[in-house]
Amino acid sequence: MITAVGREMLAKARIGFGLGIVENGYDETACVEAFAAADLEAGERRLLKDARAWMARLPFGGLDVLVVEEIGKNISGSGMDTNVIGRPSNPHELFPADPKILWIVALDLTDESYGNATGIGNADFTTRRLAEKIDWKPTAINTLTACAPNGGKLPLVFESDREAVESALGCIGLTPPERARVVRIRSTLVLGEIECSEALLSEIAKRPDLTVVGEGRPLGFDASGRIVPLAAR
């Protein structure tokens, strides 16, 4: 549909040229290229391949639990980048083969979202802190406009980050928590440095593109059960 409409516009509208802008995995502008109207479709297809190749990704294909400190509209239009978490926001989209994440824990909503919690439906566990920030009117408008009302579904709500994470770990089947494949990220926009469980160390050792930058330690929580942010480490 998008391709057909685009071709119709190019054939009938007075379009002089198009400007393609591609970001890298660090949310930085990596490429800017102009195309004449006749070359726009082919040029966009080529840039789309670059965009997919440069896109930020989790370094592991299968996880038991992904802990996301923040979701929000300033991070992704869908709260969490669906390409990163492997869960499309629209039921008409196909699920990608990779990554496969059993449970996602979303801990907070950014202030810049102004209560719009679009994408919270892609999480399985969340916190009272996040739930109380939700403004359901803009969330409903956004998800309905996208024809993805499931993006506004509220997951199980827990009083603290610790409870949410522990509950997710309790639902991974016969795998004991100490052997669980767990990754904690600041957001789907910040993947340059992530926190991984010890179960992933052997896989990390085989990857020349990954570097261990710190010693193993327990996941940190304060006295109220709130997680110690990655930025504060």
- Which one-letter amino acid corresponds to residue 130? L
Measured distance CA(56)–CA(81) in Å, rounded = 9
Q: Which pLDDT score is estimated for 86?
A: 92
Burial status of residue 46 (CB atoms within 10 A of its CB: 0-12, 13-18, 19 or more): middle
Rounded to an integer, the average pLDDT of 134-157 is 95
The pLDDT value given to residue 232: 53
Q: For the segment 79-123, what is each residue's pLDDT rounded down to a tens digit?
A: 999 989 999 877 777 777 789 999 999 999 999 999 999 999 999
Average pLDDT on 46-51 reads 91
Least confident of 7-16, 153-162, 175-184: 7-16
- pLDDT averaged over every residue in the chain: 91
Q: Could you tell me which of 30, 27, 63 has the C-alpha nearest to residue 191?
A: 27
Confidence of residue 138 (pLDDT cuts 50, 70, 90): very high
168: confidence class by pLDDT, cuts 50, 70, 90: very high
Model confidence at 58: pLDDT above 60 = yes
Which pLDDT score is estimated for 1?
Answer: 60
Phi, psi angles (nearest 5°) of residue 101? -115, 125
Strand residues in the chain grouped as ranges (E): 17-23, 29-36, 62-68, 100-106, 125-127, 156-158, 182-185, 195-196
Task: Tell which wins on pLDDT, 213 or 105.
Answer: 105
pTM of the entire structure? Answer: 0.88
pLDDT at 113: 97
% the chain with pLDDT above 90 = 69
Contact 113, 101 (CB under 8 A): no
Per-residue confidence (pLDDT) for residue 225, from 0 to 100: 95
Q: For 29-39, write each residue's pLDDT tens digit.
A: 999 999 998 88
Q: What value does the mean pLDDT take over residues 18-46? A: 89
- Residue range 66-75: average pLDDT? 97
What are the extents of the domains in the chain?
2-54, 62-232
In the chain, helix, strand, coil percent, each to 5?
A: 35, 20, 45
pLDDT score for 184 = 97
Backbone angles phi, psi at 103, to 5 degrees: -135, 140
